[in-house]
Structure 1
């Protein structure tokens, strides 16, 4: 067990990346609006996430390159390479910059739920001090440029976040029979937008790039492939359990007019006292900080691969990319700017990108020239085809919803 704990890292970062403020809010709204009935959608999202992330991890360890590096190398025709890299660059870098404001704002909401709102007037603008604080924490962690330090920070934050949400779900004393019934799909058309939101916040395109790069940083030999798979499954299942705990908490409370996790925490006070409110706030803070670190980090890895840089975590070029994404997020969050057009573009681009990246990932992990004997088995191909079909459906619905 001691040796296994030492190998924790990339999978934990992946689960931390998808459990951000968006996931917390989506799970809360799903619980409030549909009760326990969408638990099956979270189970589906965990399954889909494991299938795709396993392929990304295997690609990273065997090829010792990130996903964007492999795309650049395997697409031989300049036109196709340019189109693919342009789509990836725009969706991940611009998209993550747009969503970064939401990640930081989520962490700020957690702080405000406990300490209240703190504003600083600068000329004619009111700046949120908590946004700058969260941004400074994320900047300091990323600036260190040490992968082992990054791992330890994320493991600690994920454990805090998991404990906070799971304990909160236990405190509300949910109905076990209703929970079990929630894993059986019923009335699919009723909560289709909720299903899209839940799966879409778990199966995240940038996580495929982040994971492939992280495992190549951590493990340099093929013998660690089994360790990576075990660690990945445990981490994503843990992330799924946390998401389910949030949904269960919201469903068990039996509340109306709840728009986000902070509203849920406030609404729980009369029934459960300060205990549930504090745990919800701490969980939201941890979720916001982890996502505000992973989004800029993933963007930097994508640019590194697209541009063909031979850059490390400590290189100036690598730091410049994540710093741009992070600073833009802090700016938008602190001034309460809502980059609606950027977010809409990111949603459309990600809706297109997820099935495209899933298809490319499926193609490249079947190539003996890349993975040799570690290419996909028949079972992995069947599972991959099912997940890609889901990704195409969700991508289409996501684009349709935005437009």
Structure 2
């Protein structure tokens, strides 16, 4: 693997200098060397390990106890598989996903993908900013609306000024600190091992469809899938870095994100008895129940997760839009730099949104789950087409189809649950969104079958 680690590690994305990791140092196996070599998937992990995922886990644990533990475990594996497929497409084509879709499927399909991802990321951005501002206000005592403006300015200056290098470093540090904070909380909270084992048996309690979709949506999400090719390009990775990129996915999504999800879920399932808490409220509730140390560990972990997710999510719309418009996807292109700053600044109004942030976060993830099967279907189609020099293995295709089935099933349950209360503005929008993407997936499947029959 040493040859793989030594190739293609020139960092781009707005950096003027080059940095190559010494292959012999990396192959020696020290944790710091591996963390230094890795990067792109940690940004995806930073988004996945965010307040929306925490909200889903808090709701699941508080409302349903350990019964949805199987979904938590499944989400880590599914998230790693989704990122692996996205990684394959990015490395084998060495291009952004939007450009590849446009070249091999046409402009309409490219715009549909852009619209799907930008909608999911844009809605999430506002609610994530609300969470960051709310937690910041709780910790400091300063009004959340002021924090919303402050964080938007910090985000704009950091991303537009430092580009990919700034984001990757922040993601690595924050994700590791967040994982440590939540794992530490396990040592001050009593866990019922027998009930936890029983929760590994698949079951979907009544009323849990939205929460289950939210948990899976935190790991298998259209924003994570579509951004991966761009972050690898920013890192300068090529096909020669395939093994390194695979380790990157495994370490960030399967290990770090998996441990993070398990720790949060086990803490909340063991202590909380209500799923109707805000994310901050969940942290506050831990204090009188299991001590102030657990409260502060949870609160600081939530803060770090919210900040890291806000930064990672900000780059998704600019990446996709810039690629579709033929612009550069590094801050060396002032148009892309402007998009970064604009998305960052447009996050500020999120701090002024009223209502319970917990329900909003779960809804954001579930809505993203509706758009995710289409993105996975596009990736699978391209990985079995002339877009790549080598087609997917049978195992990778089976895994991809399983991802579509699971995410599609949870998305369908979510849509049905939304319609249960009648067709209103929100449920009507979700239904229209789901129908449009469902028809697109059916068209894509038909196109693939026709091509296979004519081949």
TM bucket (normalised to shorter chain) is: 0.7 to 0.9
Residues 1:72 and 2:102 are matched in the alignment: yes
**Hey, what's the Cα distance between the residues in 1 that align with 2:368 and 2:270?**
32
- Partners in 1 of 2:415 and 2:338 — Cα distance? 31
1:34 equivalent among 49, 57, 64: 64
Match of 1:95 in 2: 120
Q: How does 1:3-402 map to 2 (within 5 A)?
A: 3-76=33-106, 81-82=107-108, 84-118=109-143, 128-187=145-204, 189=206, 191-237=208-254, 238-256=256-274, 258-333=276-351, 335-336=352-353, 350-367=368-385, 369-373=386-390, 375-400=391-416, 401=418, 402=427
Is 2:56–2:214's contact at 8 Å kept on the other side of the alignment?
yes
| Cα shift at 1:345 | 11
Task: Kindly provide the CA deviation profile for residues 120-166 of structure 1, in whole angstroms up to 9, marking residues without a partner as x.
Answer: xxxxxxxx212122223322321223423321111111111111111
Contact 1:109 1:284 in 2 (8 A): no
- Higher relative contact order by CA 8 Å / sep ≥ 6: 1 or 2? 1
> Is 2:220–2:369's contact at 8 Å kept on the other side of the alignment?
no
1:308 positional shift: 2.4
Aligned to 2:7: none
- Kept in 1, the 8 Å contact 2:40–2:228? The answer is yes
Distance 1:187 1:22, change over 3 A: closer
SS in 2 for 1:387: helix
Aligned length: 386
| 1:123 match | none
TM-score, normalization by structure 1: 0.88
Question: Is contact 2:372-2:407 (8 Å) kept?
Answer: yes
With over 3 angstroms needed to count, the CA separation of the structure-2 counterparts of 1:162 and 1:36, relative to structure 1, is: same
* Distance in 1 between residues matched to 2:143 and 2:364, nearest whole Å: 30
Q: Say what the alpha-carbon RMSD is for the aligned residues.
A: 2.6
Structure 1: 5+ residue runs without aligned partners?
A: 120-127
Range that drifts further, 198-207 or 86-95: 86-95
> TM-score, normalised to structure 2's length?
0.78
TM superposition shift of 1:353: 2.8
Deviation at residue 187 of structure 1 after TM alignment? 4.8
Shifted more, 199-208 versus 266-275: the winner is: 266-275
- Over 3 Å counting, the alpha-carbon distance change for 1:164 and 1:109 in structure 2 is farther
Q: Offset of 1:348 from its aligned partner?
A: 8.9
- For residue 173 of structure 1, give the secondary structure of its aligned residue in structure 2: coil
